[in-house]
Amino acid sequence: MSTKRTDRTVPVRILRSPSLPIRAARSLIRRASIGSYRFRYDIGAVNRPHYAYLVYHAARIAKQLGEKRVSVVEFGVAGGNGIVALEYHAENISRDFGVEIEIYGFDTAAGLPPSTDYRDLPYHWKPGFFRMDLPALRQRLKRAKLVIGDIRETIHTFVEKYDPAPIGAISYDLDFYTSTVAALTLLDAPYQYILPRIPVYFDDVVGTELEYYNDFTGVRLAIHEFNAAHQSRKLSPLYYLAVFDPATRWHHQMWSFHAFEHPLYNQFVSQPDQQRPLKPLR
């Protein structure tokens, strides 16, 4: 799979239009699997396009850095539809990039625990939400590994127990501030277990008038506290997605993690020829 951008081609631009007829066409293309996977990826006609973005760019960055394996992590598996989608995207993208993709999903399998911490937004979340049918999900999965248990415990033994490939993308969907704080400690992993730049999806940072997500509770607070506590490892919104044409909701939920002191952080990965010769004015 070529990493060259194709979003400026006329057919792709047209098929990304937010108009109702084009949205209906994209839905048909997705459901009928019309065209190549790369074509459907480019126009957003894939299941959970934000997960496709995570997997694609994890494999892309790994390929550019000479890594043969990369990991994608999902925090908050719930019913399992997301991790099943990750497997689908990984199967297609791994084959085209020639990079092996490992998938790990963290969850308690018991649903949300009780919380009286206002930062966890108990006015919006109830204990028991998002329980998992663990036997059914395990039977469905092909390559992904489930890390079951309290995130505050499993996160500290994950690297030692699973020896994962370098982490190249992460989805955070744990709902609670306290759980997200614990899960963000994965970004403290030794450099051999993380890529220098990682696309990160945060599910609970936009919301509606029901949630009233803000910078002083929930996931946004956890992100701010992580940045305040780290000098050389930071999380930042992916600003270019916010002005993407057309922008979609998940574009505003995508961030990037940077490990500035990573041995590979400064390795050149951009276009090899960026010269712009002087041309006659017309």
Per-residue pLDDT reduced to its tens digit, 129-185:
999 999 999 999 999 999 999 999 999 999 999 999 999 999 999 999 999 999 999
* 196/190 Cα distance (integer angstroms): 11
Question: What confidence score (pLDDT) does residue 14 get?
Answer: 66
CA distances from 206 to 1, 256, 257 (A): 32, 16, 19
R_g of the chain computed on alpha carbons: 19
6 has a pLDDT exceeding 70: no
CA distance 66 to 109: 36
Q: Which residues contact 30 (CB under 8 A, 6 or more apart)?
A: 40, 45, 46, 47
pLDDT at 82 > cutoff 90 = yes
CB 147: neighbour CB atoms within 10 A? Answer: 19
Asked if residue 72 lies in contact with residue 103, where contact means CB atoms within 8 angstroms, the answer is: yes
The closest of 54, 131, 42 to 88, measured between CA atoms, is 54
% pLDDT > 70, the chain: 93
CATH architecture of 47-259: 3-Layer(aba) Sandwich (3.40)
* More confident of the two residues 138 and 33: 138
Retrieve residue 187's tokens: 């970004």
Length of the chain: 282
182: Cα within 13 Å, side-chain hemisphere: 21
**Most confident by average pLDDT, 5-19, 30-44, 224-238:** 224-238
Find the mean pLDDT for residues 76-103. 96
pTM of full prediction above 0.85: yes
Is the pLDDT at 5 greater than 80? The verdict is no
Domain with CATH 3.40.50.150 in the chain: 47-259
Express each pLDDT in 200-244 by its tens digit: 999 999 999 999 999 999 999 999 999 999 999 999 999 998 887
Mean per-residue pLDDT of the chain? 92
Name the 3-class secondary structure at 104: strand
DSSP-derived pairing of the beta strands 197-202 and 254-259: antiparallel
The answer to whether the CB of 152 falls within 8 A of the CB of 222 is no
User: Which amino acid is present at 40?
Assistant: R
Closest CA to 151 of 128, 197, 182, 130: 182
